[in-house]
Structure 1
Amino acid sequence: MSPVHGGPHSGPTRRALLTAGAGAALLAGCARGGAPGAPAAVASSPAAAAGGGITPGAMTLFKDPSYNFNGLLALGASGAGSAEVGEVLTAVNAINGAGLTAQSYVKTFRSLGDQLMAAPPGAPADGQTKRFRALRAAQYYGQALFFVLGSDDPGSEEQLYKAGRAAWDAFCDLCDPAPVKAKVPYGTTPLPVWFFRPDASGTPRPTVILTNGSDGQNVDMWTYGVPAALERGWNALVYDGPGQGQLLFVDRVVFTPTWERVVTPLVDWLTARPDVDPGKIALTGLSMAGDLAPRAAAFETRIAALVAMPGCVEPWLGFPPEIRKILTPDKQQTNDIWNKEVVPELPPEAADVMKKRFEPFSVPAMLAARQGKLFTDFYTPASRIKALSITDVVPRIKTPTLVLDYEGEQFYPGQPRRMFDALTSPKDYLKLTAAQGAQLHCSPMAPQLHCEVVFDWLGKTLGA
């Protein structure tokens, strides 16, 4: 890494790179469920062509690619019952009509969540109506949560998370059978888990552990796996790990690079249950968990099948090079560059992106963001993100592995193939495409197709 000190001649060039260039790249890459930041400047980002190319015509809900990606995630969730097409498109129209901002986005989707948690029009709601209204509310609260740090009320982040969590729990309580809720030991802060079963018969079944990414919510794990598992006679485990959900927003526990220490207690808990077949436990990782889940499988040998969605070996590369150059081996030098050279000229929108992208890796960054401030310690969270590299452990994986890739992958381009090539275990690689309507990171418009691909492979691999 070359030095990044500014001098009489390097200052203007450097400043342009670290403010305008980095700001544009970050703004192009701020998307829920995605990697921390964007891999390239806005001109070269596939998602940047919001009006055509990879997201043409009706796939353009918002001109801004970050908001568009989030809107597509909500729209795609309709197939799993965790959104409603009419509700999402009505919200999109309202936001565009008011003028697209973080404030209008948060206000509109939060209001929609509140509306669904209230009594519906017409006759009193039965259990199924209440159940799926709560599930959709969880989705819309999650939409608002992603952009709340850039809104007029960033301090409401924890409250907004809790609203979404309450909606999720209300949905779960009305399921039949309701998922088993438990707290699995992990350090000093237990992991909340929701264990979904097709029935309460106690029959030993194949089980999938669904691992979320850097900023997804529990409702996303419903969309990307729970119904698909239940319909095939599988159990499904949803959980919050460090840097996610309750552990981040309430307990204030950030991401760890040693994800096997997270997964092993989950496997311990599952194998102690009579309704789990201990020889058929699969692990999936969505978005940044395409790095976390493979790391865990490299050390937790009871995992019988692994799916990386997409494969990711270096999350730090999800940031544009202009941002990565800020990090030097010296903490003081790094933070001086950040605070004296970058922050003063960082565009407000790019600053909001950095707040969101760094909060899962730094409690001080999260708390500062809730006060409308930008963090001052760049070195610590950046180093934590860089430590998530699994290039040295991928060859250790012995578990049969499916590596997914996506046409137009805007956060980890090229990394799924890198993972696949480095694997020494039985392996398969599959790229979902625009011709299938499954383009972009995690196929936001095609989660049903996504689940079909994943569970067909799991069924074949485990003979389930």
Structure 2
Amino acid sequence: MTYISGDRESGPTRRALLVAGAGAALAAGCAPGGTPGAPAPTPSGSAPSGLASATGPTPGAMTLFKDPGYNFNGLLALGASGAGAAEVGEVLTAVNAINGAGLSAQTYVETFRKLGDQLLGPPPGAPADAQTKRFRALRAAQYYGQALFFVLGSKDPGSEEQLYKAGRDAWDAFCDLCEPAPVKAAVPYGTTPLPVWFFRPDTSNTPRPTVILTNGSDGQNVDMWTYGVPAALERGWNALVYDGPGQGQLLFVDRVVFTPTWEKVVSPLVDWLSARPDVDQDRIALTGLSMAGDLAPRAAAFESRIAALVAMPGCVEPWLGFPPEIREILTPSKEETNDIWNTKVVPELPPEAAAVLKKRFEPFSIPAMLQARQGKLFTDFYTPATRIQALSIASVVSRIKAPTLVLDYEDEQFYPGQPRQLYDALTSPKDYLKLTAAQGAQLHCSPMAPQLHCEVVFDWLQETLPGGGS
């Protein structure tokens, strides 16, 4: 780890883009935590050349599944074990079962959903005490989240909301058994309040530094536990977990999509925190995981009460995370764009690619989500695509005043080059840190090394906002 303080073509031949497996390239962009550009499943299900080689991004035992999209998900679950949000043996047993049955969305969903159901029951031996029930519920939330991610490609896509609610119930059961339990609240935001979980080291009114943990486009609350809550509590910090537009409850139940003006999401959270006696108003930090490496900087550009910012990784243009084959579909004309999509792209799209695109676009279009739950591919490409384009923060980065840490990762598969782009554009005090394969911390968000990830983030926060809360 090292700290360091074109012209659009008139139009491609669409059918040429969609032959010989190009549909998989079009589908690139599906991974939990949420950002466009992830390695997509190949139609054959085989690993790309060199993936599991000694020099590939997931060598040897790091390749749980030959398909890199599923493998990334599995690595996230495995990495969460260090925070109690998974169990190594459970994950590896599930991996073996899925591979034995034949890797598919159906076998992945069935296996992890069943594992979540089992964990909500009693363990072997004596009756479960509160601590056992607590962490079994947390692991259940993880496994339901794993199933949720691929459910739109399964035989029962209509169970998406039900599966989300199962994971949410498990998360709430975990929270209720925490000591102290987090404060649950609904923070005003437009016509749809934001659900929040406010974790504290204790119930005293001691003013403490507080971190607002922002999730990506398809992560779940359990991911915010893995990527921040215990690390904050152990250092005497408070930690706020929340669902914003396009996330969790607001997406799957309330049907609210992402907004490019994320400061309108964060400012009510800061208002709510600032009214609490156990929050030090001068030490409120904001982190953004995955696509929130774009959302959090956007909020900090307009919300002056943010005292420190961490982008994990830095992202400036989420739309550029999609491969050219996707981006070239979008034209200035909604009619032309949707005609290209429906008449030239969709008929040639392999089922695997269609499933990935359903997942990738649902946080930006409620009609797309509802069609996907019916087993259909969305017909309006233009609207969600332009919403993703609108997430660009290139024009506002210079407004950020808070000290900022920009994380990058070796073999970053979603936003390669963008963390450095964000760092270079910042005019505030700043640091850049790249996590590496030598540390086992390669790939987007270091799925195999969330403990190391939290160490570097919270060491930086402690140094930037000194004076712990303990």
Q: TM-score, normalised by structure 1?
A: 0.96
Cα distance change, pair 103–143 in 1 and its aligned pair in 2 (3 A): same
Provide structure 1 residue ranges, at least 5 long, that are not aligned to the other structure. Answer: none
The one-letter code sitting in structure 1 at the alignment partner of 2:115 is L
Is 1:213 the counterpart of 2:216? The answer is yes
The match for 1:36 is 36
**Equivalent position SS for 1:350:** helix
Aligned pairs for 1:199-210 (under 5 A) are 199-210=202-213
Is 1:380 the counterpart of 2:386? The answer is no
The one-letter code sitting in structure 2 at the alignment partner of 1:15 is R
Aligned-pair CA distance for 1:206: 0.2
Aligned-pair CA distance for 1:74: 0.2
Aligned pairs for 1:65-80 (under 5 A) are 65-80=68-83
The match for 2:8 is 2
The match for 1:162 is 165
The match for 2:337 is 334
**Equivalent position SS for 2:405:** strand
Aligned-pair CA distance for 1:119: 1.9
Partners of 1:47 and 1:54 within 8 A in 2 = no
Q: Deviations over 1:175-222 (max 9, x none)?
A: 000000000000000000000000001110000000000000000000
Aligned-pair CA distance for 1:85: 0.1
Is 1:293 the counterpart of 2:292? The answer is no
**Equivalent position SS for 1:430:** strand
Is 1:456 the counterpart of 2:459? The answer is yes
Partners of 1:207 and 1:234 within 8 A in 2 = yes
Aligned-pair CA distance for 1:295: 0.1
Cα distance change, pair 137–327 in 1 and its aligned pair in 2 (3 A): same
Aligned-pair CA distance for 1:33: 1.5
Aligned pairs for 1:45-444 (under 5 A) are 49-52=50-53, 53-444=56-447
Identical positions, percent = 85
The one-letter code sitting in structure 2 at the alignment partner of 1:354 is L
Cα distance change, pair 457–80 in 1 and its aligned pair in 2 (3 A): same
The one-letter code sitting in structure 2 at the alignment partner of 1:83 is A
Partners of 2:27 and 2:354 within 8 A in 1 = no
Tell me the distance in 2 between the aligned counterparts of 1:19 and 1:252: 35
Cα distance change, pair 37–370 in 1 and its aligned pair in 2 (3 A): farther
The one-letter code sitting in structure 2 at the alignment partner of 1:71 is G
Aligned-pair CA distance for 1:23: 1.9
Aligned-pair CA distance for 1:49: 4.2
**Equivalent position SS for 1:341:** helix
The match for 1:17 is 17
**Equivalent position SS for 1:285:** strand
Tell me the distance in 1 between the aligned counterparts of 2:267 and 2:352: 39
Q: Deviations over 1:226-254 (max 9, x none)?
A: 00000000000000000000000000000
**Equivalent position SS for 2:282:** strand
**Equivalent position SS for 2:311:** strand
The match for 2:3 is none
Tell me the distance in 1 between the aligned counterparts of 2:173 and 2:41: 41
**Equivalent position SS for 2:434:** strand
The one-letter code sitting in structure 2 at the alignment partner of 1:454 is V
Cα distance change, pair 345–407 in 1 and its aligned pair in 2 (3 A): same
Partners of 1:39 and 1:318 within 8 A in 2 = no
The one-letter code sitting in structure 2 at the alignment partner of 1:149 is L
How big is the alpha-carbon RMSD for the aligned residues of Structure 1 and Structure 2? 1.7
Total equivalences in the alignment? 456
The one-letter code sitting in structure 2 at the alignment partner of 1:327 is L
**Equivalent position SS for 1:203:** coil
Flag the structure with higher helix content.
1
Tell me the distance in 2 between the aligned counterparts of 1:19 and 1:298: 43
